[in-house]
Amino acid sequence: MKSVRNVIILGSGCAGNTAAIYAGRAGLNPLVIIGHEPGGQLSITTDVENFPGFPDGIQGPDLVANMQKQAERFGAEYVYGTVDAADLSKRPFRISIDGEWQETRTLIIASGASARWLGLPNEQQLIGKGVSSCATCDGAFYKEKKIMVIGGGDSAMEEATFLTRFGSEVSLVHRRDEFRASKIMLDRAKANPKIKWLVNTAVDDIFDVTKGEVTGVKLRNLKTGHVWDQEVDGFFLAIGHIPNTKPFVGQIDLDPDGYILSKGGARTNVTGVFHAGDVQDRIYRQAITAAGAGCMAAIEVERFLEHQGH
Ligand SMILES: Cc1cc2nc3c(=O)[nH]c(=O)nc-3n(C[C@H](O)[C@H](O)[C@H](O)COP(=O)(O)OP(=O)(O)OC[C@H]3O[C@@H](n4cnc5c(N)ncnc54)[C@H](O)[C@@H]3O)c2cc1C
């Protein structure tokens, strides 16, 4: 076992990187576990236009790479690997990084929540090129364009309604003709004349990988079997997120969907374990809110360690 760390930060997205900048500047020599997605969700997108400080926008991968560079400047150490198990029953906590155990006085969980995708062959290749899981982030790119939203829950209703501000039309595609969405959200969406409803419908394919942008989709009516192509410019998934909290099930309080339950500020129910970013936030899910949460978690760590005499 290596020497006990002051703080381990799990995740290299906006939350983890920002926590690393603050913890690094506080002289805590943080260890950042990069995880399966180096740089987090922004690493799979292109233009980011809403992160303050970049009047002309910035590419997602550049933004997270800059954050990592900034954290390393202050002594943050980044290691490739994934946390596959943890023992948070006593301090120092024990964290397994691909089977190798490491002790730490504090832990910041900034492991994000991965968007659910449909799993279509072309989908992943078109993320950031017309395929998106975030209407707030990417809606403004589709002014007067044809937009499609997939899903039947509250977020699908919210995203479709929001996207009518931009698109010339918004088609909402849902596999069934009943909706999980609450009545109020559904009624609001139904009252919006810009939303066209495609129920009992599945998406079989997205085009056009050769052009490097979304130009259309292949749809199938699940009741009649009718198959057709439809022109689309922006394709938005709203079928949920999966919080990356598997190693902590049974060790910290999670809500029924697996998101960390906050005990105020950045605190979890386990003293010395803090949360940051989308792994706890099911509402805002933005780069800037994740970065802010990373800052909060690092400040809490710093004060906790100070209080403990470290
Ligand atoms: C396509 C797309 C476009 C977007 N565009 C924008 C935008 O324009 N503007 C905006 O503000 N927001 C945008 N977002 C949302 C933004 O990316 C997220 O809100 C933000 O990345 C959340 O940061 P995070 O650090 O909490 O989590 P994430 O970015 O999800 O990072 C999580 C990190 O945790 C790591 N990890 C997970 N599990 C483990 C584990 N077991 N062990 C170790 N590490 C682990 C992962 O490798 C990853 O590095 C977009 C999201 C997507 C998907």
- What mean pLDDT comes out for the span 185-206? 96
Residues with beta carbon inside 6 Å of ligand 1? 10-16, 33, 35-37, 40-42, 44-45, 48, 50-51, 82-83, 110-112, 115, 127-128, 132-134, 137, 244, 247, 277-278, 285-288, 290
Q: Could you give the CA distance from residue 219 to residue 222 in angstroms, rounded to a whole number?
A: 9
Residues β-bridged to residue 171: 148, 196
What is the mean predicted confidence (pLDDT) over 102-112? 98
138 is catalytic: yes
pLDDT band at 44 (very low <50, low <70, confident <90, very high): confident
- What pLDDT digit, counting tens, does each position of 127-178 carry? 999 999 999 999 999 999 999 999 999 989 999 999 999 999 999 999 999 9
| Backbone dihedral angles phi then psi of residue 41, each to the nearest 5 degrees | -65, -30
Q: Which atom of ligand 1 is nearest to the CA of 132?
A: 1
Q: Give the position, in ligand 1's atom list, of the atom nearest the Cα of 37.
A: 47
Report pLDDT for 39: 96
Q: Has residue 1 got a pLDDT over 70?
A: no
Asked about 56 being catalytic, the answer comes back as no
What number of residues does the chain have?
310
CA of 42 to the centre of ligand 1 (A): 6
All residues at 6 or more sequence positions from 31 whose CB lies less than 8 Å from its CB, including other chains: 5, 7, 8, 9, 76, 77, 79, 102, 104
Structure tokens at 245: 């909290």
Tokens of 53: 């400080």
- Which pLDDT score, from 0 to 100, does residue 310 have? 85
Mind listing the pLDDT tens digit for each residue in 213-260? 999 999 999 999 999 999 999 999 999 999 999 999 999 999 999 999
pLDDT above 90: percentage of residues in the chain: 95
Percent of the residues in the chain that have a pLDDT greater than 70, as a whole number: 100
Average pLDDT over residues 104-121: 95
Compute the distance from residue 113 Cα to the ligand 1 centre, in Å.
7
Distance 58 CA to ligand 1 centre (A): 16
At residue 309, does pLDDT exceed 80? yes
pLDDT band at 45 (very low <50, low <70, confident <90, very high): confident
Angle at 62 between CA 58 and CA 66, to 5 degrees: 110
Distance (Å) from CA 305 to ligand 1 centroid: 27
Query: What DSSP assignment string belongs to 104-167?
Result: EEEEEE---EEEP----TTTGGGBTTTEES-HHHHGGGGTTSEEEEE-SSHHHHHHHHHHTTT-
* 239 Cβ contact list (under 8 Å, min separation 6): 116, 118, 150, 151, 153, 156
The answer to whether residue 137 is catalytic is: yes
Q: What's residue 57's pLDDT?
A: 95
Residue closest by Cα to atom 45 of ligand 1? 35
The protein residue with its alpha carbon nearest to ligand 1, atom 35, reads 11
Residue 39 tokens, joined:
């740089």
Give dist(CA 131, CA 234) in Å, integer. Answer: 6
Q: Which atom of ligand 1 is nearest to the CA of 114?
A: 30
Does residue 46 carry a pLDDT above 90? no
Name the residue of 97, 111, 155 to mutate for ligand 1: max ligand atoms within 8 A of Cβ.
111
- pLDDT, the chain, mean: 96
* CB-CB contact of 149 with 155 (8 Å): no
d(CA 110, CA 268): 12
**Tens digits of per-residue pLDDT, 152-163?**
999 899 999 999
Q: Give strand pairing partners of 77.
A: 31
